[in-house]
Amino acid sequence: MTPYSQGFLRTITPYTQGFLRTITPYSQGFLRTITPYTQGFLRTITPYSQGFLRTITPYSQGFLRTITPYSQGFLRTITPYSQGFLRTITPYSQGFLRTITPYTQGFLRTITPYSQGFLRTITPYSQGFLRTITPYSQGFLRTITPYTQGFLRTITPYSQGFLRTITPYSQGFLRTITPYSQGFLRTITPYSQGFLRTITPYSQGFLRTITPYSQGFLRTITPYSQGFLRTITPYSQGFLRTITPYSQGFLRTITPYSQGFLRTITPNSQGLLKDTDQFCRLPLREVQQLHPQYSVSREVQQLQPRY
């Protein structure tokens, strides 16, 4: 779903089993041609002046029930029939979806964009598509909670830091997220069985790089303002549970050890780990067992490498 100027639909290219093949809107977001694929798609849609539909001649088995265009040519409601068609598309003012390419057996059920093109809710159908995407101001993702076996193939939003590309890996893991400008997510390259559970970036505190390993994925990453994570490279079976960066004291590098992962990392200003924040509830013996490469100095209140 690639909108034209001011958030109008330009192209909808779904996958198989009766999705719309092409929607090419006219100037100012009006529909020019809808060429459906096989098994009961729209034969002809001839829009009228200012983007209103003149004729809708559906076919059989899964054509659109109702198309009620709004003012300035965009669609108010699309309620298709069966077999994974779009249930509802309710665009708002000046903010439409650029590209949505659903996969097989898991089509988008509701897309409710907000103002200025932010996605409010995407609730796909079955087998592991994205449950909720709630972007923040200026295109920051608030929550991405994927399920299993089936994620979005491509989301290509427009300007001001929306997501540029999401290419899922095998079994629905994200391979690359390359957003646009102003400190959105740079790269997230999860591995097999080690995908991200929750990414909640804040304003101007985005993640630079997160490269999880096998069976050692990140549970929660909650960056703060101006204190984003530079690099997090978890190891096998030693992934990070919680990372809560502070303001202007972000973490440079965190490399967990095998079977001795970090419980909580709360950096203070200057990016140092506090002994009282991380190990005040752990005995010294347990700390040394978890991290034999480090020694604990209560005076300095940070981890010292043991050479």
pLDDT at 90: 36
**pLDDT cut 70: percent of the chain above it:** 0
Q: What is the pLDDT of residues 142-197, one digit of tens each?
A: 333 333 223 333 333 332 233 333 333 332 333 333 333 323 333 343 333 333 33
Q: Look at residue 289 in the predicted model and tell me its pLDDT.
A: 52
Q: Tokens 């440079």 correspond to what residue?
A: 252
| Mean of per-residue pLDDT scores for the chain | 35
Query: Which pairs from 195-204 meet CB under 8 Å and 24+ separation?
Result: 195/146, 196/144, 196/221, 197/145, 198/143, 198/144, 198/145, 199/141, 199/143, 199/144, 200/141, 200/142, 200/143, 201/136, 201/140, 201/141, 201/228, 202/136, 202/140, 203/136, 203/137, 203/138, 203/140
The pLDDT tens digits for 260-282 are 333 344 433 333 333 333 333 34
128: left (phi > 0), else alpha (psi -120 to 50), else beta?
left
Looking at residue 254, what is its pLDDT?
Answer: 42
Q: Which two tokens stand for residue 133?
A: 């995407």
Name the residue ranges covered by the structural domains of the chain. 1-78
Nearest 5°: phi and psi at 209?
A: -150, 130
Q: What pLDDT does 3 receive?
A: 28
Q: Is the pTM of this model over 0.85?
A: no
Handedness of CA 164, 135, 102, 23 (dihedral sign): negative
**CA 21 to chain CA centroid, nearest Å:** 24
Could you tell me what percentage of the chain is helix, strand and coil, using 3-state DSSP and rounding each to the nearest 5? Answer: 10, 35, 60
Name residue 191's beta-bridge partners.
Answer: 194
For residue 255, count other CB atoms closer than 10 A to its CB.
Answer: 12
**Mean pLDDT value of segment 97-114:** 32
Coil, strand, or helix at residue 245? coil
- Round to whole Å and give the CA distance between 303 and 272: 9
pLDDT at residue number 25: 32
- The phi, psi pair for 275, rounded to 5°, reads -65, -40
